[in-house]
């Protein structure tokens, strides 16, 4: 999981501006699109499978000059989120931060990245 998070943060640094948007949430799969102009296309998709909890906005902008997603490893933060959302064992907690420093959480079993430009 950490390798995927590192790859996502590395990809994001290739852009000077990025918007993120929940593209779809069906059954237990959440797809977040990353785009320079979400009205017309997206550049990549972050895919969370077996989603347990989503605590974030549907659209936001990120600061591409720094990491914006982390796999939560701090035991106190894991405990706080697990108690707040009754997280079941076997899930990973991902922390995301927007350009205004708002913190979001997504709890899921797996994460992946799909690099492909999709035009609307």
User: Whose CA is closest to 58, among 18, 104, 10?
Assistant: 104
What is the per-residue pLDDT for 64?
A: 96
Residue 46 pairs in a beta bridge with 32, 113
Q: What are the pLDDT digits (tens) for 12-49?
A: 999 999 999 999 999 999 999 999 999 999 999 999 99
Q: Distance (Å, rounded) from C-alpha 95 to C-alpha 82?
A: 13
Domain count, the chain: 1
- Domain range for residue 62? 2-119
Predicted model pTM = 0.94
The pLDDT mean for the chain works out to: 97
């Amino acid at each position: 999981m950490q390798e995927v998070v590192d790859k996502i943060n590395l990809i994001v640094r290739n852009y000077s501006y990025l918007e993120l948007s929940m593209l779809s949430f069906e059954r237990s799969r959440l797809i977040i699109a990353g785009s320079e102009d979400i009205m017309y296309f997206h550049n990549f998709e972050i895919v969370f499978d077996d989603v347990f909890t989503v605590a974030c906005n549907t659209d936001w902008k990120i600061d591409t000059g720094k990491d914006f997603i982390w796999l939560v490893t701090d035991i106190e933060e894991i405990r706080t989120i697990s108690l707040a959302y009754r997280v079941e064992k076997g899930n990973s907690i991902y922390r995301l931060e927007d350009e205004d420093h708002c913190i979001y959480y997504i709890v899921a079993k797996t994460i992946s990245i799909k690099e492909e430009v999709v035009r609307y």
